[in-house]
Chain A
Amino acid sequence: MTPRGVAEAVTVVIAAVVAFPLYWMVLTALKPEAEVISADPRPWTLAPTLDSFVRALTVQSFGRYLLNSIVVAVVVVLLSLLISFLAATALTRFRFRGRTTLLIMLLVVQMVPVEALTIPLFFLMRSVRDVAPVFGLNHLGSLVLVHLAFSLPFAIWMLRGFVAAVPAELEEAATLDGASRFRFLWQVLFPLVAPGLVATSVLSFIHAWNDFLFAKTFIISAAENQTLPLALQVFVKPDQNDWGAIMAGSTLMTIPVLVFFILVQRRLVAGLAGAVKS
């Protein structure tokens, strides 16, 4: 075999190992229950069934949780895109006092461990409940707010490079053509930083979608407002886990992110490279 042939064979083997847990997840979700808890697990099944998916969707009303997760993630992505784009524009295209301090602050807040902040945030959401219930404990709004706050610093930091890369001459030309600052912002700048916006939205989406901790801490007594990661835990029992349903739930949870990733993967690679280069 040529050296490249060897490298390709190695690559494929590694890819198989990396993908194996995902294969196992889908396979287990499709196996009949008896095969799942067999002491002699086989890497295939001759009797695929959707029973586990049915259990996950009916016993645990996954549909409802899926919808909640989608609502939170989509709202977070949209708000974070809008707010971070404006902020990144301000931080790169204007000079004002305190700009550097702000940039440093944005980096610093990323270091604060989210898990420690759950303590004060829990108390904050408890008091918000009395003023604006939708943003307080047990409501999805509380999750939107915290995920927005935690994804903004990284989003702004990342978008900054993309906005800075747009030449100033473009803005001068647009101004000469009589475009208002606002029009330039949305019609020229916004489309130009698209790869950055894609990379940013992927990261905000994952952030909100994967959250286990805040949902666990904030949504305490309103089961109908739970999100997906929490629903999975219900099938985990001390005596006997319902592995089939857990894997069906995991599959349902992973598919939307995977689809999103595959749709944007080219732009994501470009976005990451751009963010790092800038």
Chain B
Amino acid sequence: MMPTRRGDGRIAFAYLAPALLVLAGLMGYPVYQLVLISLFDYGQEQVSGGAPLAFLGLGNYTKLLSQDRFWAVLGQTVGFAAVCVAGTLLVGAVLAVLATRVRTWARMTLFLAALGAWATPAVAGSTIWLFLFDANFGFVNEVLGTTGFSWTYDKWVAFGLVAAQVVWCSFPFVMVTLYAGIKSIPGEVLEAAALDGASTVKTATSVILPLLRPLLIVVTIQSVIWDFKVFTQIYVMTGGGGIAGRNLVLNVYAYQQAFAASEYGLGAAIGVVMTVLLLAVTVGYLRALRRSGEVL
């Protein structure tokens, strides 16, 4: 931190002004609008100006919360995100450890493959996976000898396929970050542990893990946030939410309500509910950062 000088506040404000302008206009104002829209009966007629806006108060919310559909989608969203987060962290962590145990050429091979998966745009990645698992022309069915089997028909099989795709494209971030974290542990610390006669397991659990804890918290929470908001994969792989909307998650549900069913008010209400849920996660994140010594 620099020593305070005269005019600091003004200069700081000048530096911040562009960011504040963009964020206030394109995040702050829309968030306010989102809440506002969620309080109205906002449909196609209101959008085109054919009918006046009707204030519903919490009407959209009571309608939403009384729907079995909403609770089912909420449950699916949480379950789906949990599976994706667990898979991503497990694969990422195991491969990060593996990467520290092999010579450079093997590590580079793995990292290049992972960079490839990471770099693949979600739409392209989703489409590739769909084709690999295609009922008639898919390589996977050919190998398994299950030609004709549709991986996107059964609700849970379809969710599983999408989750696998999500793990495929998001484990590289976890792997690279944890690998960098493990490598940044000073050699002396590990040597000291070895001199004290600590076993590999003991070193891992009482030396490496505590040092990696802040990092693990960051990647976990980031994954939670990302996977709770998965949109493209579900949208592309299940054709907009699956047969009869069986594979909907909150995000896609909100979008469909607004733009496909022209129920903008209801869609906005789903968005607000999601934001509140994610804010709860954020509070947890901030607490974890504080506890791990991060100074704001």
Establish whether residues A124 and B110, one from each chain, have CB atoms under 8 Å apart when the complex forms.
no
B116 within 8 A of A: yes
B193 within 8 A of A: no
Q: Which of B131, B214, B254 contacts A116 (CB 8 A)?
A: B254
Interface range for B: 35 or more
Complex Cα spacing A198 to B12, Å: 24
Nearest CB on A from B240, distance (A): 11
Note all chain A residues with C-beta closer than 8 A to B121. 206, 209-210, 228-229, 250, 253-254, 257
A118 within 8 A of B: yes
1/0 per position for A37-64, CB-CB distance to B under 8 A?
1111101000000000000000000000
Complex Cα spacing A112 to B229, Å: 9
Nearest CB on B from A138, distance (A): 16
Establish whether residues A39 and B147, one from each chain, have CB atoms under 8 Å apart when the complex forms.
yes
Q: Which of A16, A92, A148, A210 contacts B26 (CB 8 A)?
A: A148
Complex Cα spacing A115 to B235, Å: 12
Complex Cα spacing A239 to B242, Å: 17
Note all chain B residues with C-beta closer than 8 A to A89. 15
1/0 per position for B1-23, CB-CB distance to A under 8 A?
11110001101110110110011
Establish whether residues A118 and B282, one from each chain, have CB atoms under 8 Å apart when the complex forms.
no
Establish whether residues A116 and B251, one from each chain, have CB atoms under 8 Å apart when the complex forms.
yes
Establish whether residues B128 and A247, one from each chain, have CB atoms under 8 Å apart when the complex forms.
yes
Choose among B27, B228, B275 the residue with the greatest number of A CB atoms under 10 Å from its CB: B27
Nearest CB on B from A180, distance (A): 11
Q: How many A-B residue pairs have CB under 8 A?
A: 307
A117 touching B31 in the complex, CB below 8 Å, given contacts A18-B117, A103-B296: yes
Note all chain B residues with C-beta closer than 8 A to A254. 116, 119-121, 124
Establish whether residues A276 and B168, one from each chain, have CB atoms under 8 Å apart when the complex forms.
no
B71 within 8 A of A: no
1/0 per position for A12-40, CB-CB distance to B under 8 A?
10111011011011001000000011111
Complex Cα spacing A233 to B218, Å: 34
Nearest CB on B from A113, distance (A): 5
Q: Is the interface of B mostly helix, strand, loop or mixed?
A: helix
A43 touching B139 in the complex, CB below 8 Å, given contacts A28-B131, A117-B271, A152-B23: yes
Note all chain A residues with C-beta closer than 8 A to B120. 21-22, 250, 254, 257-258
Q: Which residue on A lies nearest to B47, using beta carbons?
A: A123
Note all chain A residues with C-beta closer than 8 A to B184. 273, 277
Known: A18-B113, A41-B137, A213-B232. 17 other contacts (CB 8 A): A4-B102, A7-B101, A11-B110, A12-B110, A41-B142, A83-B18, A94-B12, A116-B267, A148-B22, A150-B27, A241-B131, A243-B131, A250-B127, A253-B121, A261-B115, A273-B181, A273-B183
Which residues from chain B sit less than 8 Å from chain A, CB to CB?
A: 1-4, 8-9, 11-13, 15-16, 18-19, 22-23, 25-31, 33-34, 37, 95, 98-99, 101-103, 106-107, 109-125, 127-129, 131-132, 134, 136-139, 142, 147, 168, 173, 176-177, 179-181, 183-184, 214-215, 218, 225, 228-229, 231-232, 235-236, 250-252, 254-255, 258-259, 264, 267-268, 270-272, 274-275, 278-279, 281-282, 285-286, 296
Q: What are the 7 A-B residue pairs with the smallest beta carbon separation, nearest first?
A: A116-B271, A273-B180, A149-B26, A120-B33, A250-B124, A90-B15, A94-B12
